[in-house]
Amino acid sequence: MVAEKRNLKALSQKELEFFIRDSGLPLYRAKQLIHWIYEKHAQSIQDITEFSIKLRAKLSEMAYIGGITIVNRQASEDGTEKFLLGLHDGESIESVLLPEGNRLTLCISSQVGCAMNCGFCLTGTLGFKRNLEAHEIVDQILTVSRIIEPAKLTNIVFMGMGEPLANFDEVVEALWRITAYMKISPKRITLSTAGIVPKILELPHKAPPVNLAISLNAATDAVRDAIMPINKTYPLRALLAACRRFPLKHRRRITFEYVLLQGVNDSIEDAQRLLSLLRTIPSKVNLIPLNSCEGSAFRRPDDETVLRFQEVLLKGGLTAFIRKSKGQAILAACGQLKAGYR
């Protein structure tokens, strides 16, 4: 029986070392493979010119370097680019490239669809299909890095489709590969969660020290229960207690994302409540006026309301930014990923 060829990207470091050893090759070949795949972006074993023709032929009989395919690429006038990426089983995900000053951030997905069902999020309405494997998470970065060369990604955010902490093991493995293999500093990686409390507590023990962002969006349990069902399992008190316990390096803070929804969470009282909730946590707040779009039950507050909300936070001593939603024209903004493809 002929053994099935192995996708080298799908192997963990240990599995790769076993594979190399079982193939009768010295262990340092595993390191070379990692270097060529993750730093030199080799797409096929034939690209690894450091290996002799004979070695490449031998390896090609047993293995291959898999990848995801770019199904569609759309650019917005503000420079945002959205990539629809095809997976091996016919499913697809999206990644969004966000240039801003000298930063080039890639927003990546962790699941196909999402089970969290946040009321303001069009991605959530797609439902949940499956978790991404670690290599599919990392492949989004490899694929986009390759096509933007010689430019380099400066930041990675887990804010695309899916709830990263609901796919904990694969996301943690992906984080190790991104930091150790691709040499992207954990300081430049942000993981955003809707608030799966036990996994927030576990993350610092298992993963490299990446930044944490909480998709908060409400300052009372009543409002949060209504727009984010996860809050019924892990209410604000438990969520913020977990944030207080999250270890932060010097001068680092937790980011709280707050999508402003007209008449739902955008009052002065909401801002005051938010202020008192976050007072004891080193935090910064990103206020994101909703992207009103077809299919959403919520509306964007007017600019005056947004500014007033921010002012309350600033006066109370919180760092608070108003984030322009980028890529709105191509449905690449928060909560809109894949919505246009349905």
Of 39, 61, 94, 114, the active-site residue reads: 94
Do the Cβ atoms of 316 and 280 come closer than 8 Å?
Answer: no
CA-to-CA distance for 134 and 177, rounded, in angstroms? 9
Size of the site for ligand SF4 (CB under 6 A): 13
Binding mask 275-294 for ligand SF4 (x = CB under 6 A): --------------------
The interface region with ligand SF4, picked from 144-152, 160-168, 237-245, 249-257 by CB under 6 A, is 160-168
* Alpha-carbon span 124 to 103, nearest angstrom: 28
Degrees (nearest 5) of the Cα angle 178, 90, 44?
50
**Both tokens assigned to 37:** 């795949």
Structure tokens at 30: 């595993």
Question: In Å, how far from its chain's centre is CA 222?
Answer: 27
B/e letters for 269-286, b = 16+ CB within 10 Å, e = fewer, are ebbebbbebbeebebebb
Q: At 234, list the tokens.
A: 């892990």
Q: Of 297, 295, 301, 337, give the one whose Cα is nearest residue 322.
A: 301
Neighbours of 47 (CB within 10 A): 15
Residues in 91-110 that interact with ligand SF4 by CB under 6 A: none
User: Could you say which of 33, 96, 124, 184 contacts ligand SF4 (CB under 6 A)?
Assistant: 124
Tell me which of 59, 121, 254, 339 binds ligand SF4, using CB under 6 A. Answer: 121
How far is residue 240's CA from residue 255's CA, in Å, rounded to a whole number?
12
C-beta closer to ligand SF4: residue 118 or 223: 118
Instruction: Based on the shown chain and the rule CB under 6 A, indicate whether residue 118 belongs to the binding site for ligand SF4.
Output: yes
Check 114, 118, 121, 334 and give the catalytic one: 334
Q: Which is nearer to ligand SF4, 122 or 219 (CB)?
A: 122
The answer to the question of residue 223 lying near ligand SF4 (CB under 6 A) is no
Quick check: 116 binds ligand SF4 (CB under 6 A)?
yes
Stretch in the footprint of ligand SF4 (CB under 6 A) among 87-95, 115-123, 267-275, 321-329: 115-123
Reply yes or no on whether 334 is catalytic.
yes
Cβ nearer to ligand SF4, comparing 106 with 118: 118
What is the smallest separation between the CB atom of 121 and ligand SF4, expressed in angstroms? 3
Binding site for ligand SF4 (CB under 6 A): 114, 116-118, 121, 123-124, 161-163, 194, 215, 335
